[in-house]
Amino acid sequence: MKCSAQTSINADLPSPIIESGNFADPADGTLYASVLESPLAVSIPIWPNPAPAGCKDVVTLEWAEVTGSGVGAYVELAQMTFNGPVENFPDTVLYIPVAEALEEDGRYQLRYRIDTYIDTELESAYISIVCDSAPPYKYKVPSSFHLPAKQITIPFFEANDDVFVCVIPDYPDCQRGDVIAYFWRTATRTVEIGRIPVPDDRKVIYTRAQIEAAGNGEFYAEYRLYDKAGNQSQISSSEPINVSMAPRKLTAVKVSSAVGSSSFGSLKIDLVVDGVTINVPADADVYDGEIIRIQWASPQAFNSITIDEPDPSSPLVYKVPMRNVAAHMVSSLADGASFIPVYYEILDGRSLEVLATSSVYGLALTDILATNYPTVQCSHVSGNILSLSSVPVSGTEVSIGVWPFMADDQYINFKLVGLGQDGKNLEVVFFEHKVTAEEVADKKVNATVAKADIEKFKVGVNLYFEGEVTFNNKGYWYKFRPLRANLTN
């Protein structure tokens, strides 16, 4: 789409055209500051009766500055000569050397003039453009915020509706469309808190949640201004603000049935029958309107979970679902880890910002007892004997029944283990599979092992049907109880 600003009325030709993407504000013709750094393309529509063969038309692009006292003299910007004939002529593009031509920021009327081959001068309607290359405050450092206080305490917030309101000092080149980005800085770190249009009252609000999240110490409230053309000021000056607020008391959670200390415990996973119950201490400093969010295991861990809905029994009791438990048994943890972290965060009820984090409770989940896993089954094994003659060419069914914490985000495999025909140890994996929701509902997984795979093993000795399951996306495999069968002809 092409866009032009206001045009004059008594003109012979349509106005020149500047692509709409060059305008920061098409309504008043303000160009982006970045556009002024290189030649600006201007399209000239084909004019009536262009020059025939042997003749020429001359197109001149020009502008005039508009000031409080009126429109100044037009100044030539670019010129192009067209030798006839010109048939089916497309739009002509001329380029304004803005960086060289612009002596002063301001509003300009841009038009073009055609000196035709019959010595007639045609003038176009104009478009109004605004060139603005200077940042707010020009090139000076903006003055520091007007601060409501230079020390922030809990009583300050209680007396001021939990907000710290700073005021942008008045500045001479303030204009509608200016934007402010405001920051909260320490000696080593700067955090952008927000970016908003400069308010009419020039007030900028830091919330208690934002300030509390940064902790205690010496801080600086700073800002940067942007005008609608895209120019940006320097970072403002600032004054030190001392934040001294008593820390919240957020002691570690308790895990039902776990044994240990206040910060570490061990839980026998065989005691988990309906998820793991997490208890937030009754003396935790949580205020009205805030949200408690439980973090179960490291956020990057497979099957970790955050829980912000308490159990119906109590607002301080949270339940970890069964499907999020088994992935965190001790053998499944990353190398060197012996427990998972369990903690809670306090969130602002409106913005959902994290205001504070509790101490961490380290929980070690024991592995499922080997005797609690089911045994692999084979439909053609009878009395621990597998007769090859009874197995059809298509193979035999191998299956496993329900195991603890069975879910559809787990993988299993089946394999044959024994002595090969050459008398050497042989292992044949014939099935690897992601458990489906239907199999969970059926409490069983079926597979088929081909007769040809069984025939790879030596007759007259034991053959083992083995299986494994992984609860943490193939990070660690737990063994099902194997089925032993003597292989016969």
Domain final position from 337, 367, 397: 367
Residue 253 neighbours by CB distance under 10 Å: 27
Tell whether 104 and 27 lie within a shared domain: yes
Q: Which residues constitute the domain of residue 7?
A: 2-131
Which among 31, 110, 101 is positioned nearest to 71, based on CA atoms? 110
Give CA–CA dist 325/335, Å, rounded.
19
Which amino acid, residue 292? Answer: I
CA 345 → CA 133, 250, 321, 369, distances in Å? Answer: 46, 9, 19, 33
Exposure letters 426-455 (e unless 16+ CB within 10 A, then b): bebebeeeebeeebbeeeebebbbeeebbe
Q: Examine residue 139 and state whether it is found in any structural domain, yes or no.
A: no
Tell me the three-class secondary structure of 312-338, residue by residue: CCCCCEEEECHHHCHHHEHHHCCCCCC
**DSSP type of residue 389:** G
Per-residue tokens: 414: 């089946």
Q: Write down which residue in 312, 346, 367 finishes a domain.
A: 367
pLDDT value of residue 8? 36
110, two tokens: 């841009």
Is 417 inside any structural domain? Answer: yes
Rounded Cα–Cα distance for residues 389 and 155 (Å)? 87
Is the same domain home to 114 and 159?
no
Per-residue pLDDT at 91: 63
Strand intervals (E) in 101-202:
106-115, 121-123, 127-131, 151-152, 163-167, 179-185, 190-197
DSSP letter at 140 equals S
Give CA–CA dist 294/279, Å, rounded: 10
175 lies in the same domain as 231:
yes
Examine residue 137 and state whether it is found in any structural domain, yes or no. no
Instruction: Note whether 485 and 385 are within 8 A (CB).
Output: yes
Q: How many domains does the chain have?
A: 4
Cα–Cα distance list, 317 to 10, 29, 282, 354, 460 (Å): 78, 60, 10, 20, 59
Inter-residue contact 314 to 332 (CB < 8 Å): no
Are the C-beta atoms of 7 and 127 separated by less than 8 Å?
A: yes
Rounded to whole angstroms, what are the CA distances from 314 to 253, 276, 282, 428?
14, 15, 11, 52
Let me know whether 156 and 233 are in one domain. yes
Residues 385 and 481 in one domain: yes
- The span from the CA of 348 to the CA of 290, in Å, is 5
Identify the CATH number of the domain in which residue 223 sits.
2.60.40
Sequential DSSP letters for 222-248: EEEEE-TTS-B-PPPP--EEEE--PPP
Are 206 and 115 part of one and the same domain?
no
In-domain check, residue 144: no
Q: Are residues 383 and 358 in the same domain?
A: no
Do 352 and 418 fall within a single domain?
no
Residues 334 and 291 in one domain: yes
CATH number, domain containing residue 375: 2.60.40.1940
Judge residue 365's burial from the number of C-beta atoms within 10 Å of its C-beta, 0-12 exposed, 13-18 middle, 19 or more buried: buried
Question: Per the domain annotation, does 57 fall within a domain?
Answer: yes
pLDDT for the residue 46: 86
Q: Is residue 248 part of a domain?
A: no
Q: From 372, 339, 386, select the one nearest 479 (Cα to Cα).
A: 372
Q: Please check whether residue 249 lies inside any domain of the structure.
A: no
**At which residue do the structure tokens 């940042």 appear?**
135
Do residues 361 and 404 both lie within one domain? no
Instruction: Please count the CA atoms within 13 angstroms of the CA of 481 that sit on its side-chain side.
Output: 12
Residuewise pLDDT in 10s, the chain (489 residues): 233 333 333 447 999 999 999 998 999 899 988 888 889 999 998 888 888 888 999 999 999 999 988 999 999 999 998 888 866 455 688 898 888 888 888 999 999 999 999 999 999 999 999 998 888 888 899 999 999 999 898 768 877 889 999 999 999 888 888 999 999 999 889 999 999 999 999 999 999 999 998 989 999 999 999 999 999 999 999 999 999 887 778 999 999 999 999 999 999 999 999 999 999 999 998 877 889 999 999 999 999 999 999 999 999 999 999 999 999 999 999 888 899 999 999 988 888 888 889 999 999 999 999 999 999 999 999 999 999 999 999 999 999 999 999 999 999 999 999 999 999 999 999 999 999 999 999 999 999 999 999 999 999 999 999 999 999 999 999 999 999 999 999
* Residue 309 and residue 427 in one domain: no
Using an 8 Å Cβ cutoff, are 133 and 105 in contact? yes
Question: Is 393 contained in some domain?
Answer: yes
Length of the chain: 489
Instruction: Tell me, yes or no, whether 119 and 222 share the same domain.
Output: no
- Domain termination site, one of 313, 345, 367: 367
- Both tokens of residue 395? 């193979």
